[in-house]
Amino acid sequence: MAAIAVASLTKSFGEVHAVNGVSFEVAQGECLSLLGPNGAGKTTTTEILEGYTKPDSGHVEVLGHDPQHADLAWRARLGIVLQSVRDLGDLTVIEAVRHFAQYYPNPKDPEAVIAAVGLTHKAGSRNDQLSGGQRRRLDVALGVIGNPELLFLDEPTTGFDPEARREFWDLIESLKADGATILLTTHYLDEAERLADRVAVIARGRIIACDAPHLLGNRNTGLAVVSWTEGGIAHQEQTAQPTLLTQELAHRFNGEVPDLSIKRPSLEDTYLALIDGDELRGDAR
């Protein structure tokens, strides 16, 4: 059974169709990343799955339950890292994590979780004295303290420095290794590529592409760019058959091709092309 199953989901706020017919599934133990521009409907979709928002129509099942009619035992199986919360400022890191651990039937060890998010040296500090990135790590700690089967991460690494982001990725991968299902909303494509088994691109309330990161938008079979230097001049050629071109080049140069590189479109290139294409279609309408 899928951990998350969504079909034909819609939600409007007044005239704005925030979610406009979204369908997808997330298998047990899978990490799905929702990508999309601001206002595309990522957070609304996530908050419907978390039970915060009531959808207008469509079918939603999260861990076998409708989030609108689920009980606290269901909640105990979820971990939620929300966007932009600024609470708990008057408690210390360790106080907050220990307190939230008490809400769950089978929590992780608070000290271990604080170590895993890299806050051990700040455990005794008041939360309102943490930096933005440290605050975010506390949010992640509170999201995973209950040992969740399903973890929602809404832009979890905003404000992290590169090193902290890598540590965070290791933490999430260890949760995945333990079998947790993860729904990750992010703006960082490298993060999605590293963590997600599949990415779903949302634009204007609909999913316009959903696939494994290396397959998205036919990245693997799309045009590759082959570049090399010939006679002191940089050359570049787009081709669907990069191997053939390279072979020709090797033949021409009779061996090594100077400065040879073959580039498939990056996830970012593919993502931007998908979003641009969608906007063009939207404007044409």
Partner 1 sequence: MSHAIRLGSKRVGVELKQFFRDRESAMFNFALPMLLLVIFGSVFGGQSLEGTDITFAQYFVAGMIASGILYTSFQNLAISIPLEREDGTLKRLRGTPMPKASYFIGKIGMVFVAYVAQVTILIAVGVAFYGIDLPSTPNRWLTFVWVSVLGLIACTLLGIAYSVVPKSGRGASAVVTPVVLILQFTSGVFFVFNQLPQWMQTFASLFPLKWLTQAMRYVFLPDQAQAAEVAGEWELGMCALVLVIWVILGAILALVFFRWTPRGSKS
Which residues in this chain contact partner 1 in the complex, by CB under 8 A? 13, 18, 44, 47, 50, 52-53, 72-73, 75-76, 78, 80, 82, 84-91, 95, 99-100, 102-105, 126, 142, 146
Task: Pull the structure tokens for residue 6.
Answer: 């969504």
Nearer to partner 1 by Cβ, of 151 and 249: the residue is: 151
Q: Which of 78/192 has CB closer to partner 1?
A: 78
Shortest spacing between CB 152 and partner 1, in angstroms: 9
* Token output for 127: 């939360």
Taking the least distance from each CB to partner 1, the nearer of 102 and 221 is 102
Instruction: In angstroms, give the least distance from the CB of 96 to partner 1.
Output: 8
Q: How far is the CB of 165 from partner 1 (least distance, A)?
A: 23
C-alpha to C-alpha distances, 36 to 64, 158, 173, 198, nearest whole angstrom: 27, 15, 23, 14
Nearer residue to partner 1 within complex by CB, 81 or 209: 81
Rounded to a whole number, what is the largest CA-CA distance in the chain? 71
Give the residue with the Cβ less far from partner 1, 180 or 224.
Answer: 180
CB of 7 to partner 1, least distance (A): 21
HSE toward the beta carbon, residue 166, CA cutoff 13 A: 2
| Beta carbon of residue 98, minimum distance to partner 1 (angstroms, whole number) | 10
Cβ contact 175:205 at 8 Å: no
Beta bridge partners of 104: none
What are the tokens at 226? 């082959």
Answer yes or no: are the C-beta atoms of 121 and 84 closer than 8 Å: no
Tell me which amino acid residue 119 is: L
CA gap 238, 221 in Å, rounded: 12
Measured from the CB atom, is 51 or 118 closer to partner 1? 51
162 φ/ψ angles, rounded to the nearest 5 degrees: -55, -40
Q: Which is nearer to partner 1, 139 or 278 (CB)?
A: 139
Helix ranges, 27-161 (H): 42-49, 72-75, 93-101, 110-116, 132-144
Nearest distance from residue 130's CB to partner 1, in Å? 15
Q: Please say which residue, 61 or 95, places its beta carbon nearer to partner 1.
A: 95
Shortest distance in whole angstroms from residue 147 CB to partner 1: 12
What residues pair up with 127 in beta bridges, in sequence order?
none
| Element housing 18 (H / E) | strand 16-26
Cα distance between residue 132 and residue 148, in whole Å:
24
What angle in degrees, to the nearest 10, is found between the helix axes of 162-177 and 132-144? Answer: 0
